[in-house]
A and B are shown apart, each in its own frame.
Chain A
Amino acid sequence: MEPESAAAQAAGAGTRKRVEEREEVVIRFAGDSGDGMQLAGMHFTNETALAGNDLSTLPDFPAEIRAPAGTLAGVSGFQLHFSSRDVFTPGDAPDVLVAMNPAALKVNVDDLQPNGILIVDKEQFNEQNLRKAEFASNPLTDGSLDRFQVFEVDITKLTINALKDMGLPTRTMMRSRNFLALGLTSWLFGRPIEPTIKWINQRFKKTPAVGEANVAVLKAGWNFGETTEIFRTSYTVRPATIAPGRYRNITGNTATAFGFVAAARRAGRPLFLGSYPITPASDILHELSTLKNFDVYTFQAEDEIAGIGAALGAAFGGAIALTTTSGPGVCLKSEAINLAISTELPVIIADIQRGGPSTGLPTKTEQADLLLAMFGRNSDSPIPILAPATPADCFNMAFEAVRIAVTYMTPVFLLSDGYLANGAEPWLIPRAEDLPAIPVAFRTDPKGYFPYLRDPETLARPWAIPGTPGLEHRIGGLEKEYLTGNVSYAPANHEQMVRVRARKIAGIVREIPPIEIHGPAAGDLLVIGWGSTYGAIESATRALREQGRAVSHVHLRHLNPLPGDLGDVLHRFKQVLVPELNMGQLVRLLRAEYLVDAVGLNKIQGQPFKVSEIVTKATRMLEAPR
């Protein structure tokens, strides 16, 4: 039977098989890093978006490109949470786990919900693979999986059977196993596979034999679900109620790249990226390097320092300039960031944070560079810091970073992280014409010009670019005289300059909209966070309010300066909880700034918060005798 459409399939299935409705599902695909689990997950996500569910995704892959096949180190995973309601996180614990080999089972099985659906490729549970995965006995037969609904599927054999007449080498056939799993899970949850077929045909236009093979395997997976006696039930998740408009699925890194391109376009200037490849930021470089017809220059520099150095040169010349990196790269760029602070040139430092210190956990997430961004340079060197809350929000904050940089003539930190970068969610596509213009006015009038003349409101100095007659001037990292910019070591002048640089950045507070409080404006507990913890905190605080608790959520997207009304909001709650994926960085700033007895909830495992972790901590605080 050919899968014509999801609806027809579901109707057909209904005659023989039970269709159970679920409000939400969390599914995780796990396999060897060469098994194509990211691809399977990505396409399941696209199918799910087209089915109208709200969703959120999280890939989890090893740092090694190809760890030895079948080992625990080589396990790669992709988790998707989809629902008929609003989704804020990729989900705490999967309801469904697809494990392509014993190692994938071993690494992931502890997360699976009791009575969860476990689909395994039975043939891969041979002695050799079990040994590589460090299993003492076969979990499929030793009873250790009894608490789950285990479906032993011959994924390997089904794949090979589907392809046996095509004359492909076994190795090539094996690489299509992910499509078998995708076809099967698509059937299980009534996802349409047409978009995946379309993608395969497009992707393998030049090697149609491979494309055909993948389509055949995908359909075989679907048909197996449909015909086999193993699966008696399939599931459906109704479309979510979502704001009207056109959507696409977007990762944080793509959204970041788009935000910069849009900002440069709205500023009417070319975009220049100076960057050195680093996980998990490189995808922004990749994305932007394809957008040259948007006047985007990408410069893959010889090192991190040259990346920001070239960006500074481009900024001096009038481009919208940025550098993309992760924590280790920020450490290398510190001196150049300070040069940007001293010369008051606009440049964006997009730090896609990862676990540290040092090389740390390249592919795992952490939000532990806040204090680095805030203080990680010599001397008093204030810099604005912005942090997107969700993958799609990366677009808004990248755009906002550019706006602040050119309005205030300052470098700006954008703190994303690995979880946002690789995570994806539906994005309500904005119309370009609705985006605000970013006014850029280069100084051209030599009359009354000084390199450090300041705008009375923003305190920004004029942007006078080479090529402008009569404005020839010199800037540099030496302290300069207020107004003229000439080198000056005068004591009082230095203090004046340090103070005016600080005042300029503090003044950005006027740009920050009033705080949005999710929940009551005053109450028993305020949970306050920043960056990628948004989803987990929002889900947790909603759950707590549903239990009748007076709990609110505030999420900071501006971290320096902090919103002007933050002190007032903090003091309206009896207790303040600050969940962070670090040892307590925002909590330290809040305690110092507002003398508030805020409490941290800290997780440093390279993994995002589970909603339950925040609910548990909040409940404990609410129930503690005070």
Chain B
Amino acid sequence: MTTTPAAALNRKDFVTDQDVRWCPGCGDYSILAQVQKVMPELGIARENIVFISGIGCSSRFPYYMNTYGFHSIHGRAPAIASGLKATRPELSVWVVTGDGDGLSIGGNHLLHVLRRNVDVNILLFNNRIYGLTKGQYSPTSEVGKVTKSTPLGSIDYPLNPISVALGAEGTFVARTVDVEAKHLQDVIRRASQHRGASFVEILQNCNIFNDGAWSPLTEKDTKADASLVLEPGKPLIFGKNRDKGVRMNGHQLEVVTLGNGISERDLIVHDETDDGLAFLLSTMQPPKFPTPLGVFRAVQRPTYDEAINRQLTQAKDQHGVGALNELFGRGDTWDVPA
């Protein structure tokens, strides 16, 4: 086996010899294909890429990526990724997680990897259900959802992954959809280019336990009205006929139809660096609003891995490279003569 230069890699170089064992029709296949397609474009040598996951359907992902991979324990992938990235900042580290893994059992770690701004790329596959344990409700399931563990309907109010990521001070927060190949690729590319923690919610269908999880967003005849693609510097316009938009009304967002005195100039122009706007957009939910897709927030903040390594360098500059004999003899010592 020899090393293939990063530039000459193609999609197949990222495919492993392992049989992919997701259910036929699962949204994860599409995500895997798009990630494998984008990887060769990133100009990163395969050996410098690491995929780390927790537990769940999505977390099988690393087995199918011909890079370094670590399929760990439930919810803890962000912690493992943080330790790896801190000590090996030159690596491209990816975390693959799901709504249960990332927001329920691993919610704590997700918050902290984001606020620390560790330079890792987090892909959270959100299918609003527990698939691997065969169909219990998840922390993103709708109220009233009937599942194996909620025969009378779920009474838990769901988390909004984008709001959570913004609340945790995430510096790059985006949303995309499993079947929107091009949009998915674009978002993954941007996530990888972002310096700092990138959080990407990927709306994903579970055709076995929660089929149609996002169907208004994925069906051909409804998606244009059900979704709104965010583009920096562009007004928030959506709809089959591109005739609807979102504007501010006081402190509230409001959907308006263009025409009758309402023009593009009245609409909100997307700004990825506007914290308040990002949060407002994250609250847009059906049926009142279309679901925004794209990058909600992209800002720069020093990364954890840079900072921790800078402290090591500064300590060496200030005190010299540590010498064990000097360390051992610090403080009061005394000599016992022979």
Contacts and interface: CB of A to CB of B under 8 A. Distances in A.
Nearest to A347: B83
Most chain A C-beta atoms within 10 Å of own C-beta, residue among B74, B319, B328: B328
Interface stretch (B27-35, B41-49, B175-183, B213-221): B41-49
A195 to B, nearest CB: 6
A12 interface: no
Interface stretch (A61-69, A151-159, A315-323, A454-462): A315-323
17 contacts: A246-B329, A248-B329, A248-B334, A293-B312, A293-B316, A293-B320, A313-B83, A317-B84, A339-B73, A343-B70, A466-B47, A466-B48, A470-B47, A472-B67, A476-B62, A477-B73, A486-B18
A469 B47 contact: yes
A270 B47 contact: no
Given A291-B327, A316-B70, A474-B62, A336 B76 contact: yes
A133 to B, nearest CB: 35
A251 to B, nearest CB: 11
A528 interface: no
Interface string B322-338: 11110111111111111
Interface in A209-254: 242-249
A223 B158 CA distance: 72
A511 interface: no
Contacts of B329: 246, 248, 429
B318 A293 contact: yes
A261 interface: yes
B47 A472 contact: yes
Interface in B44-95: 45-50, 52, 62-63, 65-74, 76, 78-88, 90-91
Given A467-B47, A472-B67, A473-B69, A248 B332 contact: yes
Contacts of A429: 328-329, 333
A245 B70 contact: no
B263 interface: no
Contacts of A245: 335-336
Summarize B's interface: helix, strand, loop or mixed: mixed
Contacts of B70: 313, 316, 343, 474-476
Contacts of B331: 248-249
Given A293-B316, A474-B69, A313 B80 contact: yes
A475 to B, nearest CB: 6
B155 interface: no
Interface string A304-318: 011101111111111
Interface string A54-87: 0000000000000000000000000000000000
Interface stretch (A168-176, A294-302, A517-525): A294-302
Contacts of B63: 474, 476, 487
Interface stretch (B107-115, B245-253, B292-300): B107-115
A302 B110 CA distance: 10
B32 to A, nearest CB: 14
A243 B336 CA distance: 7
A590 interface: no
A472 B66 contact: yes
Most chain B C-beta atoms within 10 Å of own C-beta, residue among A243, A293, A316: A293
B331 to A, nearest CB: 6
Given A50-B332, A431-B325, A469 B3 contact: yes
A432 B328 contact: yes
B8 interface: no
Nearest to B50: A466
A361 interface: no
A265 B325 CA distance: 12
Nearest to B311: A292
A293 B320 CA distance: 7
A244 B337 contact: yes
Interface in B155-190: none
Interface residues of A, number: 73
Nearest to A255: B328
B108 A312 contact: no
B143 interface: no
B16 interface: yes
Nearest to B55: A477
B2 interface: yes
A249 B46 CA distance: 50
Interface of B: 1-3, 16, 18, 45-50, 52, 62-63, 65-74, 76, 78-88, 90-91, 108-109, 111-112, 308, 311-312, 314-316, 318-325, 327-338
Contacts of B62: 474, 476
Most chain A C-beta atoms within 10 Å of own C-beta, residue among B46, B47, B74: B47
Contact of B71 (A272, A303, A475): A475
Please give me the 3 A-B residue pairs with the lowest Cβ-Cβ distance, nearest first: A476-B71, A309-B79, A313-B83
A309 B327 contact: no
A468 B48 CA distance: 8
Contacts of A476: 62-63, 69-72
A313 B52 contact: yes
A49 B332 contact: yes
A446 interface: yes
Summarize A's interface: helix, strand, loop or mixed: mixed
A471 interface: yes
A492 B90 CA distance: 40
Nearest to B320: A293
A294 B328 contact: no
Nearest to A291: B322
A513 interface: no
A335 B73 CA distance: 8
B336 A244 contact: yes
B86 A306 contact: no
A302 B109 contact: yes
A318 B88 CA distance: 9
Nearest to A243: B336
B335 A247 contact: yes
A308 to B, nearest CB: 8
A305 B74 CA distance: 11
Contact of A317 (B2, B91, B319): B91
A310 B83 contact: yes
Most chain A C-beta atoms within 10 Å of own C-beta, residue among B66, B322, B334: B334
A600 B333 CA distance: 40
A317 B16 CA distance: 21
Nearest to A470: B1
Given A248-B332, A295-B312, A470-B1, A270 B67 contact: no
A399 to B, nearest CB: 11
A314 B87 contact: yes
Contacts of B47: 466-472
Contact of B86 (A249, A272, A431): A272
A483 to B, nearest CB: 15
A302 B106 CA distance: 11
A533 to B, nearest CB: 27
A429 B315 CA distance: 24
B91 A466 contact: yes
B328 A248 contact: yes
A314 B68 contact: no
Nearest to A447: B1
Contacts of A305: 76, 79, 109
B333 A475 contact: no
Given A467-B48, A472-B66, A474-B71, A321 B83 contact: yes
A46 interface: yes
A160 B316 CA distance: 45
B122 to A, nearest CB: 14
